[in-house]
Structure 1
Amino acid sequence: MAYGALVSLAQTVDQILNHDNYSLSHHQRQQITAIHEYVFFLQAFLEHFPDKANNNNNKSLEGQIRYIANQAENTIEYFMWEQRRLLCGIVTSCGGRRPSEEKSVHHYSRLASDLDKLTEKIDSIAQEAMNVKNKYFVIKEIGTVDSSSRLAQSTPKKDVVTERICGESSKLQVIPIVGMGGIGKTTLATNAYQDPLVIENFMIRAWVTVSQDYSPQKVVSSLVDSMKELINTERYRGESDEEKVYKCLKGMKYLIVMDDVWSTEAWDDVRMIFPDENNGSRVVLTTRLLDVAAYVDSSSLLHEMQLMNADQSWDLLRHRVFEQGPLCPLELEGIGKEIAGSCRGLPLAIVVIAGLLSTVSKTRASWEKIAGNVKSAINATKHGQLEKIMSLSYTHLPHHLRPCFLYMGAFPEDQEIHVQKLIRLWVGEGFLKYPNGSKTVEEAAEEYLEDLVKRSLVLVSKRKFNGKIKSCRLHDLMRELCIRKSQQERFLRHAMVKNQRRVCIDQSNLSFLENIYGSTTRTILCLMHSEISSLGCLRHFRFLRVLDLVFAYNHRRMFDSEEVASLPPQVFELFHLRYLAFSYAVEIPRAVSNLQNLQTLIIYLGTKFRYRPSTVRLPSEIWRMPQLRHLICFNFDQLPDPHQESEITRALLNLQTLSRVRNLKCTETIMKMIPNVKKLGIFYSEDKYKQEYHLENLVHLQNLVNLKLTVRANLSFPNKSLNFPQTLKKLSLSGESLPWQSTMMSIGSLPNLQVLKLRNYCGYAWKTSDGGFPELEFLLIESSDLRHWITESDHFPSLKWLLLRHCEHLREIPDAIGEIPTLQLIEVKGGSASLFESAKGIQEEQQSWGNEALQVRCIEFRSQFQSFQFK
């Protein structure tokens, strides 16, 4: 993965050139600066230079770039690690201390020699890249259109597309069909194209397959061939193909299908040859890319294809296997449904496996053999056509997205991938360039993920209320593609092999790590529950960047509540760590400050796989970790008071997430030491000493966007109210002791608040006023004592969703709520019968006024042990 290796190397070089802790001679700085310049050239080469230029004579060029980038990073990181030991005298696991001065001199001279060799190699590769680039622009290769027959896919319903094709609108319309590879876009377009009603409605029909390697000339030429019976050769003699197509279509009602479009340029290059005569002509366009589908006609609704459900999958499989013969025997239905379900709703996979089932005997034993390994069976059939089709999406990916996509193959099959974790891992790996301007690297990563979704490579599992992706997943076959490509490109392995750069562990016992030496290993991911007895072996992996051991547990400590667990000292020798996540330590030593590059620290406690929950204790040295961006512990006790004035000046200026901190003292000093926090979660438990927590100082966090405040103690509030920063967009409050009316007045004035969640927190009455909650779109009230709610429709001018859960004392929803023009949903879960009637009454009243858009959902819990009932 050459591009990802270059981005990572660029970050490492930036760090050593711009960090005061590293002592470089003038010559060394020149050497590393030269490497930096080569990196930028090679990045630009890969970004703007198409893969097809890398012909058979130089296929290895990208592999050479990846190799030399990794070698350069190994050399520089080794120097950083050694110099850290020289300057700080870190005690090693073997008991050694600061090396001698002679060794230091030897270390510096060796670095200079290694850098000279690296610079020569990189210069040679850069020259080769330049030669390839020059050769390409002289030859100017033109790709060909793939007009070969497509693999028969599914037979989805064509009614929706056919209706749009034959619709009444006289204006020329473009109908985009979008979806992942193998989902049936081409088949859907084919069925509509061949529909008798469509044939009858259009005077001219033409089909062109564009494909990935397209050229405008080839596309237009294919259209000419498709319409050759209609084009008078003598009449159009001497005219260009574009003119022939335009004049042939002019005045005619036509249907053009452009299949497998991969870029907006492919549409821009031909759109002008399609005349709009206001006669109901249509262009159908199929693509895997959402951006392309949205671009071709902003006024037209795109048709986004979805995966099949279980019943649809079985119906398709049964139809394909038994279409020419008898009905499916009853004894095969169960195993047949299992096979269909294993295809995870992808029509092409179902069609391929149906073709295999058609060739074997119709017995349960034969089908059970295939069911045992459906994926292998699919990939083995049709000469790997399924893999080839799905691989096209990967081949078309820009270089900067490839490592991000392949990395997702590390997660277990069928697992929902939490986006926040995925993004933090991407950042820790160094896959992303740090953007210019106000955008954070995490925001850039969110855009990367959205791009992968738009390209139909990643499926969205859940979205947040604001539309951002909360969790995602890979189709099983797409995950298999990730794993194959990762192994081919030596990007990530699912087994621990010596000197692999990234390793994803899927074994139940991690003892084998003791026998592995990983001098070049940068990542160890343990994403399934595995037992580990010791982490002493980590001394073999001193260049680790990412260490995720959240699912690793120590069996001896699972039930031992007396022992105070702590991480072994080897962890704090991993100077290059950027991402550290674990789940079996509650006391973090002072040596944590050795991890000067750490960006994410996550400590999980209290699941059924580990000992009972406790409180994580952080040392004051946590303030000496300037790169820390995300600090998440379940739970940790306060933030330690800084011992020295120098620690105050250091501060955690890069910290964005501070989650699950218990009894945080929000002094003005502490708030100024975390000035850029965007997401903050605070939990206040029983307070025996009636301490002052100074929550009024939250207002000093001028970058805070998301605040979750939980209070299970009788806190004292001298000011009788809480004030929040104006930047807040999401606020969650829970706790009966929080002051009600004054706090709600403060919340109502927040100009940017979009989401408000109130749990176990409401007074007996709530009276809102004009000008409040100007941007609030989502309101949840749960388990409250609210009895009377007095409001007007213009008090919540932007409200879209109202959720009331277990509000046992609230008898009715104010009628004015139903008059809010933006309101889309009222959901009532639990509560009194009169509350349900009130919600349904609002819906009926709105329907009587012609408002059919408002949805009302009422979920009644009959008892603690019975499931809910939808009304």
Structure 2
Amino acid sequence: MWIYVGTSKKSKDILVEIVKEVAPSSSEELIKDKDEDQLAHIIHEFLIERGKYLIVLDDVWDTKVVDFVKKAFPNNESQPRGDRIMFTTRQRLWLKLSALILTIWKNCQKGIVLSCWNREFFGKTRECPIKLRGYGNEIVDKCCGVPHAIVVIVGALRGCLGESEWKLVKDNVGKHLISKDDHKSCLKFVQTSYNHLPQQRKAAFLYFGVFPQGFDIPAWKLILLWVAEGLIKSDLQGSEIEEVAETYLSNFAGRNLVMVMQKRSNGQIKTYRLHDMLYEFCIIEVERISLFQQVTPDSCKKTVLAKVCHLRKLGIEGQLAFLLGKSTKGRGFDSFQELRCIENLKLLNNGWSEELHLPPHFFSLQKTLNKLTLSNTNFEWSEADMLGQLECLTVLKLKENAFIGKNWKPKKGSFSNLQVLQIVWAENWGTWDASNRPFQSLTHLVLISCYDLKVVPHELADLPYLQEMRPMRTFKAVSSAIEIKSKKLRRQDPESSIKFNLIIFPPPSSTN
């Protein structure tokens, strides 16, 4: 018998379902006014009379449920009958449970899955047309052996035998599996796994959606980004925070929320990948909780932005040449004057087709914009002066060659209200000159994979509010960061509430 458990059923609910299975004709009378012990006794007596049994408890979240239910079943060790209790779970850690013969349902072998796919779609008498077999194989691969996923995709393709239709589904498997409008989709199953995450880990899991779909994510890079974004909730400092992040990743893998693609020789996980339907879930959930509104550059027309003039958070990802290309002379950015309340802006460039520049109209955002993220835009460092004039800007994140060039010397008094500065992988950036005393309000500095940066400016030691520096994989600048720490600690008032902290990753002892 097959009993679905899930997250909401209590022990008594499960026992009632089992009674209905073992005694369907008289179940209503048997379960009336019965408590849990009485129901367990009824099940025990029926199963003794009926002989051997196989029961599957599907989607179990609490081991106490299994421990309680198994008491209702015969257990005669002197005369074993070959009975079996099995359960499916999303928690690998439960493998250590004893007293039950456990079966963890893993991905089926591809040949079996393909047979299941063909039988579901074409029946027992027909075969998949040769022209569609390649698409079918790719679709099955993307379902990763999950039976329910295959059933959902079969439903989406029912009655469709055209190559174009199969190709469309093949390219959008994740969207079909996680469709909000289809009650048969896998959304509820993914949602349940997500809801069971501790609250502080949910944002870290959704961060997987930042990477491209189907991308093998390096564990070290994800951890650095988590730490830089403040997604690791812990009172620990330094390398111990990275260890906490490692437990996050292991936990996600243990819950089958991510796929482990490669391991290191010491057994640690090297790369991860997110299943397509989980990727789609991350995108949907991020939009639902309004972390940010993600759009493409070609959708940023004046008529569109005028309708959302009160938008506070906006992320633009794609070929930004449409907005910031040299050939447009910044005219593509004119429409942003419609955004009167924009506070958080992300510009993520995916194309290399044209040189990009910050347009003059960017300065029109100075009255409202307080958080700005740039990625892969390849602006010249000299153009950063325009950002330094944004009087409300408090958080600036420059990722993956947001600016290029060997030298950066901010103007005097620039970035006067900036509190958080994060720079990730600025290729060839070797010299940072802060002799003009910018960043007078800076509290946190994060440098990730700035391999060519020789020195962190010693003037930063004079910043009155600087509380933390995090040079991560920025090896050449480590010694200067340590010198700044020494200066800060010498000048630090023991009675002051502002304390300085330096976090270096990897720690200096392991950088050689």
**Cα pair 1:425 1:579 within 8 Å, conserved:** no
Aligned to 2:335: 515
**How far off its partner does 1:389 sit?**
3.6
**Amino acid in structure 2 at the alignment position of 1:506:** E
**Cα pair 1:419 1:472 within 8 Å, conserved:** yes
Q: What pairs up with 1:97-112 in 2 under 5 angstroms? A: none
Q: Structure 2, unaligned stretches of length 5 or more? A: 325-331, 489-500
Change (3 A) 1:626 1:373: closer
| 1:447 pairs with one of 244, 247, 250 | 247
Give secondary structure in 1 for the equivalent of 2:452.
Answer: strand
Q: Calculate percent identity across the aligned residue pairs.
A: 23
**How far off its partner does 1:430 sit?**
5.1
Take 1:422 and 1:302, find their aligned partners in 2: how far apart are those partners? Answer: 32
**Amino acid in structure 2 at the alignment position of 1:706:** S
**Amino acid in structure 2 at the alignment position of 1:659:** R
Aligned to 2:455: 638
**How far off its partner does 1:261 sit?**
1.1
Aligned to 2:491: none
Take 2:135 and 2:221, find their aligned partners in 1: how far apart are those partners? Answer: 37
Q: Does 1:216 align with 2:27?
A: no
Take 1:474 and 1:578, find their aligned partners in 2: how far apart are those partners? Answer: 28
Take 2:433 and 2:73, find their aligned partners in 1: how far apart are those partners? Answer: 67
Change (3 A) 1:265 1:439: farther
Give secondary structure in 1 for the equivalent of 2:85.
Answer: strand
Take 1:619 and 1:359, find their aligned partners in 2: how far apart are those partners? Answer: 66
Aligned to 2:40: 242
Q: Does 1:494 align with 2:273?
A: no
| 2:279 pairs with one of 457, 479, 483 | 479
Aligned to 2:394: 576
Q: What pairs up with 1:168-207 in 2 under 5 angstroms? A: 206-207=1-2
Change (3 A) 1:327 1:412: same
Q: What pairs up with 1:273-672 in 2 under 5 angstroms? A: 273-274=72-73, 276-278=75-77, 279=80, 281-291=83-93, 293-294=94-95, 296-297=97-98, 303=104, 305-306=106-107, 314-341=114-141, 343=143, 346-360=146-160, 362-364=161-163, 367=166, 379=179, 383-427=183-227, 429=229, 431=231, 433-435=233-235, 442-465=242-265, 467-495=267-295, 498=308, 500=311, 502-509=313-320, 510-511=323-324, 512-516=332-336, 517=339, 519-522=341-344, 524=346, 526=348, 528-529=350-351, 532-534=356-358, 537=362, 540=365, 547-554=372-379, 565=382, 567-571=384-388, 573=390, 575-577=393-395, 579-583=397-401, 584-585=403-404, 586-590=406-410, 594=416, 597-598=419-420, 600-605=422-427, 613=428, 615-619=430-434, 626-640=443-457, 642=458, 647=462, 654-662=468-476, 669=483, 672=486
Q: TM-score, normalised by structure 2?
A: 0.71
Take 1:209 and 1:551, find their aligned partners in 2: how far apart are those partners? Answer: 48
Change (3 A) 1:262 1:353: same
Aligned to 1:225: 20
Give secondary structure in 2 for the equivalent of 1:628.
Answer: strand
**How far off its partner does 1:596 sit?**
5.5
Q: Structure 1, unaligned stretches of length 5 or more? A: 1-205, 558-563, 606-612, 681-702, 710-871
Take 1:546 and 1:304, find their aligned partners in 2: how far apart are those partners? Answer: 45
**How far off its partner does 1:432 sit?**
5.0
C-alpha offsets along residues 626-682 of structure 1, whole Å, 9 cap, x if unaligned? 523544313112344x369x64x98987444343444876798468469854425xx
Q: TM-score, normalised by structure 1?
A: 0.45
C-alpha offsets along residues 377-417 of structure 1, whole Å, 9 cap, x if unaligned? 66499654333443333344444333333343233222233
Take 2:311 and 2:113, find their aligned partners in 1: how far apart are those partners? Answer: 39
Take 1:637 and 1:439, find their aligned partners in 2: how far apart are those partners? Answer: 22
Which protein, 1 or 2, shows the higher relative CO under an 8 Å CA cutoff with sep ≥ 6? 2
Give secondary structure in 1 for the equivalent of 2:151.
Answer: helix
Take 1:643 and 1:365, find their aligned partners in 2: how far apart are those partners? Answer: 61
**How far off its partner does 1:526 sit?**
1.4
**How far off its partner does 1:299 sit?**
9.6
Change (3 A) 1:654 1:449: same
**Cα pair 1:435 1:444 within 8 Å, conserved:** no
Change (3 A) 1:569 1:465: farther
**Cα pair 1:504 1:524 within 8 Å, conserved:** yes
**Amino acid in structure 2 at the alignment position of 1:242:** A
Change (3 A) 1:208 1:383: closer
**Cα pair 1:618 1:636 within 8 Å, conserved:** no
Change (3 A) 1:619 1:371: same
**How far off its partner does 1:420 sit?**
4.4
Aligned to 1:734: none
C-alpha offsets along residues 767-796 of structure 1, whole Å, 9 cap, x if unaligned? xxxxxxxxxxxxxxxxxxxxxxxxxxxxxx
Aligned to 2:505: 679
Take 1:449 and 1:221, find their aligned partners in 2: how far apart are those partners? Answer: 38
Change (3 A) 1:569 1:372: closer
C-alpha offsets along residues 98-122 of structure 1, whole Å, 9 cap, x if unaligned? xxxxxxxxxxxxxxxxxxxxxxxxx
Take 1:374 and 1:473, find their aligned partners in 2: how far apart are those partners? Answer: 16
Give secondary structure in 1 for the equivalent of 2:260.
Answer: strand
**Cα pair 1:548 1:582 within 8 Å, conserved:** no
Change (3 A) 1:500 1:443: farther
Take 1:263 and 1:582, find their aligned partners in 2: how far apart are those partners? Answer: 43
**How far off its partner does 1:438 sit?**
8.6
Q: What pairs up with 1:58-77 in 2 under 5 angstroms? A: none
**Amino acid in structure 1 at the alignment position of 2:85:** V
**Amino acid in structure 1 at the alignment position of 2:399:** A
**Cα pair 1:428 1:579 within 8 Å, conserved:** no
Change (3 A) 1:341 1:264: closer
C-alpha offsets along residues 257-301 of structure 1, whole Å, 9 cap, x if unaligned? 21111234433543544565333543211122334x346449977
Aligned residues: 459
**Cα pair 1:321 1:354 within 8 Å, conserved:** yes
Take 1:616 and 1:257, find their aligned partners in 2: how far apart are those partners? Answer: 64
**Amino acid in structure 2 at the alignment position of 1:305:** K
Take 1:424 and 1:226, find their aligned partners in 2: how far apart are those partners? Answer: 52
**Cα pair 1:494 1:506 within 8 Å, conserved:** yes
Take 1:468 and 1:515, find their aligned partners in 2: how far apart are those partners? Answer: 48
Cα-Cα RMSD:
4.6
Take 2:421 and 2:453, find their aligned partners in 1: how far apart are those partners? Answer: 18
Take 1:406 and 1:493, find their aligned partners in 2: how far apart are those partners? Answer: 14
**Amino acid in structure 1 at the alignment position of 2:434:** P
Take 1:452 and 1:371, find their aligned partners in 2: how far apart are those partners? Answer: 26
**Amino acid in structure 2 at the alignment position of 1:551:** N
Give secondary structure in 1 for the equivalent of 2:408.
Answer: coil
**Cα pair 1:544 1:577 within 8 Å, conserved:** no
Aligned to 1:97: none
**How far off its partner does 1:452 sit?**
3.1
**How far off its partner does 1:209 sit?**
1.4
**How far off its partner does 1:580 sit?**
3.4
**How far off its partner does 1:356 sit?**
4.5
Give secondary structure in 1 for the equivalent of 2:186.
Answer: helix
